Amino acid sequence: MNTPISRRSALKKAATGAATIATTGAIAAHHKDSEPYSFKRNIHHSACRWCYRKVELDDLCRQGKKVGLEALDLVSFDDLPTLKKHGLEGSLLSGVPGGIARGLNRFENHDKIVDFFQEAAPRAAKEGVKRIIVFSGNRDGMDDETGLDNCKVGLERIVPIAEKHGIQIIMELLNSKRNHPDYMCDHTSWGVELVKAVGSESFKLLYDIYHMQIMDGDVIDTIKEFHPYFGHYHTGGVPGRHEIDETQELYYPAIMKAIVDTGFDGYVAQEFIPAWDDPIKALAHGIRTCDV
């Protein structure tokens, strides 16, 4: 005779089973990532420096190169000698005045940003860095159309500097739902309209997959449709911005294949906050997951 199982008991067993599967998958990933591996190099692998603050830069470069890194993202000029010592590139330079919140959507920020590019662009070119990040800034009551027009005015001042020195200006798409409340460039459609309005190959978007999954979803078809407007990519697990493993809702090998199919030859940078005990093993797993 079968014993009836309550709904609560069934749900508890299902949750326990799911947790076991996730744990088993993580253990398998750790084991697999320790095995010898030959990189396909259809994706150029980078990682965001800020995610590994607890790791000394020299150690991050040394260990990162062993697990497949070719570059580091969101670095300063002061970081570049250490990167070069280990044969890594600076894939995206940070340091623009105003940061995320006070960006190009307000005229009062333009002069400082222009001054920064006048100094940084020739220096970056000399150092072999090809991309510099910028931000739209927060809305702070401003409507999106005005913000787009203002960003266009500011970009029209710095794009000629970038063009002269062979530098690409990259504006990041960020989510305003979880991490950056009130940020203006928070939807792919707004960013694409700005790139179209500026009309220069020296200005493109950073399509951050984590952020845009939260705001827009439809990641693969968005990449297929709008890839000409993207100059850089970031990864990250959703939800939580942790490892791109079986605990999150995106399947990164398929996303990377879509990027490769567009002919993209720039960098994809891992931008997740490691939750595993060993952040370098987490990085290695992310890189191999994206190496399609």
- Position 40 scores a pLDDT of 95
Give DSSP secondary structure letters for 31-58. HHHTS------SSEEEEBGGGGTTS-HH
The residue type of 26 is: A
Distance of alpha carbon 142 from alpha carbon 35, whole angstroms? 52
High-pLDDT (> 90) share of the chain, %:
87
Segment 188-191 long-range contacts (CB within 8 Å, at least 24 positions apart): 188/212, 188/215, 188/216, 188/222, 188/226, 190/144, 190/148, 191/229
| CATH code given to domain 95-206 | 3.20.20.150
Whether residue 12 has pLDDT greater than 80: no
In the chain, % helix, strand, coil (3-state, to 5) comes to 50, 15, 35
Whether residue 270 has pLDDT greater than 60: yes
Geometric angle at alpha carbon 89, from 85 and 91, rounded to 5°: 150
- The per-residue pLDDT of the chain, averaged, comes to 92
Name the nearest CA neighbour of 274 among 283, 287, 262.
283
Q: Domain ranges in the chain?
A: 95-206
* pLDDT band at residue 33 under the 50/70/90 scheme: low
Whether residue 39 has pLDDT greater than 50: yes
- Would you give the DSSP letter of residue 3? P
Those residues whose C-beta lies under 8 Å from the C-beta of residue 35, and which sit 6 or more positions away, are none
- The enclosing H or E element of 234 equals strand 230-234
- Position 34 scores a pLDDT of 62
pLDDT digits (tens, 9 = 90+) for 44-57: 999 999 999 999 99
Distance of alpha carbon 155 from alpha carbon 151, whole angstroms? 6
pLDDT digits (tens, 9 = 90+) for 196-243: 999 999 999 999 999 999 999 999 999 999 999 999 999 999 999 999
21-25, 62-66, 145-149: lowest mean pLDDT where? Answer: 21-25
